[in-house]
């Protein structure tokens, strides 16, 4: 690991961090090239900082909004065991959002700014959470495919160049692994059940397969955030991650006994990978643009939660003020 620290002064939002100095930039680049971590107080180019704020906050929003499609099923889980598992998973996602908002805050943005961007609809979050959960098997398929795709995306982030983000991802990935397994386990159990249960699983797989592989984002040739690779934030490209996910998932589908809804999906001996059909990017951009089946509901639910929680925030502030006043009087 690269241990030499930058000889430049600590940055803050108004201080040296904002100065574009060729010497600072050379040191920053050297650290990135050596595979080192950039820490919150290190100098960084403004574009690097902005890219991270955008990526980490979108990630945080995705975790928080991602609680909604599954939270919807907690009261309808078919057994106590499944209810306890689902509760734990949805709570984990809330925790992931909190680690990530905290990581974003180290870059000089406030939690309030980030929340406001989400609630006003200005900020983006993963398009996958704008699809509805229609039957109980959707909960299993989300764990298997959606959390599975998230793991593929997030494992390389444990080694990304920004220290606070990388460290947050280590714990997130461990929890995502539990999410993926509980989903697969739920589906295995349903597949051993009745014909109706097997049909529910197949129906859920048919609806979630393509949205899941869209989660890796546009094809590399159409992707605009190329600096991310140069800076060591995104170490594996969208298309390579998607291919890894497809290759891993086809075998899991066989074990499960479901078919994936893509007639063009087949092993390509020459490439050593599975080929797959054309992704409907119009659908993807439509959902990203706010016109998916659930975009309006998701934002309404987040806004309602924020408004309903106003009294908690007010009480916390009043409590903090009271404690500070007591300390002043004691002194």
- Looking at the Cβ atoms of 42 and 63, the one nearer to Fe ion is 63
For every residue of 167-233, DSSP letters joined together read HHHHHHHHHHHHHHHHHHHHHHHHHTS-HHHHHHHHHHHHHHHHHHHHTT-S-GGG---THHHHTTS
Part in contact with Fe ion (CB under 5 A); list of ranges 42-50, 55-63, 287-295, 305-313: 55-63
Which H helix or E strand runs over 319? helix 310-330
Determine the size of the site formed for Fe ion (CB under 5 A). 6
Q: Retrieve residue 326's tokens.
A: 């007591």
* 300 burial via Cβ count (<10 Å: 0-12, 13-18, 19+): exposed
Contacting Fe ion (CB under 5 A), which of 17, 31, 82, 179?
Answer: 179
Residue for token digits 């983006």?
A: 124
Measured between alpha carbons, how far is 120 from 127 in angstroms, rounded to an integer? Answer: 16
**Closer to Fe ion by Cβ: residue 73 or 274:** 73
- The yes or no reply on residue 70 touching Fe ion (CB under 5 A) is no
Q: How far is the CB of 66 from Fe ion (least distance, A)?
A: 6
- Shortest distance, position 76 Cβ to Fe ion, whole Å: 20
Can you count the helices (H) and strands (E) in the chain?
A: 14, 2
- To the nearest whole angstrom, how small is the minimum distance from the Cβ of residue 17 to Fe ion? 30
| Least distance (Å) between residue 147 CB and Fe ion | 4
| Shortest Å, Cβ 252 to Fe ion | 17
Q: Which is closer to Fe ion, CB of 59 or CB of 242? A: 59
For 53-92, give one letter per residue: b (16+ CB within 10 A) or e: bebbbbbbbbbbbbbbbbbbbeeebeeeebeebbeebbeb
**Contact window for Fe ion (CB under 5 A) among 6-14, 33-41, 172-180, 193-201:** 172-180
Give the integer Cα–Cα distance in Å for 244 and 229: 18
CB of 63 to Fe ion, least distance (A): 5
Contacts of 105 (CB under 8 A, 6+ apart): 111
Give the range of 5-13, 28-36, 56-64, 194-202 binding Fe ion by CB under 5 A.
Answer: 56-64
Q: Which helix (H) or strand (E) holds 273?
A: strand 273-275
Site string for Fe ion, 78-107 (x = CB under 5 A): ---------------x--x-----------
Closest approach of Fe ion to the CB of residue 174, in Å: 11
User: Using CB under 5 A, which of 147, 164, 201, 241 touches Fe ion?
Assistant: 147
Using CB under 5 A, which of the segments 16-24, 62-70, 187-195, 296-304 binds Fe ion?
62-70
- For residues 273 and 247, the answer to whether their CB atoms sit within 8 Å is yes
Cβ proximity to Fe ion: between 136 and 276 the closer is 136
Nearer residue to Fe ion within complex by CB, 86 or 214: 86
How near is the Cβ of 60 to Fe ion at its closest, in Å? 10
CA-CA distance, 256 to 247, in Å (whole number)? 15
Whole-angstrom CA distances from 46 to 13, 14, 18, 268 are 10, 12, 7, 43
Integer Cα distance of 154 and 157 in angstroms: 5
Q: Between residues 93 and 138, which has the closer beta carbon with respect to Fe ion?
A: 93
Nearest distance in Å: CB 196, Fe ion: 28
Q: Which one, 105 or 176, has the nearer CB to Fe ion? A: 176
Span near Fe ion by CB under 5 A; candidates 4-12, 58-66, 130-138, 301-309: 58-66
Tell me which residues touch Fe ion (CB under 5 A). 63, 93, 96, 147, 176, 179
């Amino acid at each position: 690991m690269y241990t030499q620290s930058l000889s430049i002064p600590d940055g803050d939002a108004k201080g040296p961090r904002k100065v574009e100095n060729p010497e600072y930039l050379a040191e920053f680049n050297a650290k990135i090239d050596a595979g080192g971590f950039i820490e919150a107080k290190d100098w960084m180019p403004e574009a690097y900082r902005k890219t991270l704020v955008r990526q980490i906050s979108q990630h945080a929003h995705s975790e928080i909004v991602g609680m909604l499609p599954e939270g919807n099923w907690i009261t309808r889980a078919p057994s106590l065991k499944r209810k306890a598992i689902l509760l734990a998973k949805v709570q984990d996602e809330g925790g992931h959002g909190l680690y990530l908002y905290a990581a974003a805050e180290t870059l000089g943005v406030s939690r309030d700014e980030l929340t406001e961007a989400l609630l006003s609809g200005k900020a983006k979050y993963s398009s996958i959470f704008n699809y509805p959960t229609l039957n109980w098997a959707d909960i299993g398929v989300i764990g298997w495919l959606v959390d599975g795709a998230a793991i593929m995306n997030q494992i390389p982030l444990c080694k990304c160049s920004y220290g606070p983000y990388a460290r947050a991802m280590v714990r997130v990935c461990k929890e995502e692994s539990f999410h993926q397994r509980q989903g697969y386990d739920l589906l295995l159990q349903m597949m051993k059940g009745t014909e109706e249960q097997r049909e529910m699983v197949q129906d859920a797989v048919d609806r979630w397969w393509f949205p899941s592989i869209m989660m890796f984002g546009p094809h590399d040739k159409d992707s605009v955030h190329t600096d991310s690779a140069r800076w060591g934030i995104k170490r594996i490209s969208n298309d390579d991650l998607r291919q890894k996910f497809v290759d891993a998932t086809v075998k899991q589908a066989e074990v499960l006994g479901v078919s994936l809804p893509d007639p063009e999906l087949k092993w390509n001996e020459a490439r050593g990978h599975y080929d797959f059909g054309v992704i409907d990017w119009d659908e993807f951009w439509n959902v990203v643009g706010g016109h998916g089946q659930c975009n309006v509901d998701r934002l309404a639910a987040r806004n309602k939660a924020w408004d309903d929680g106003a009294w908690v925030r007010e009480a916390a502030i009043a409590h903090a003020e009271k404690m500070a006043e007591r300390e002043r009087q004691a002194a």
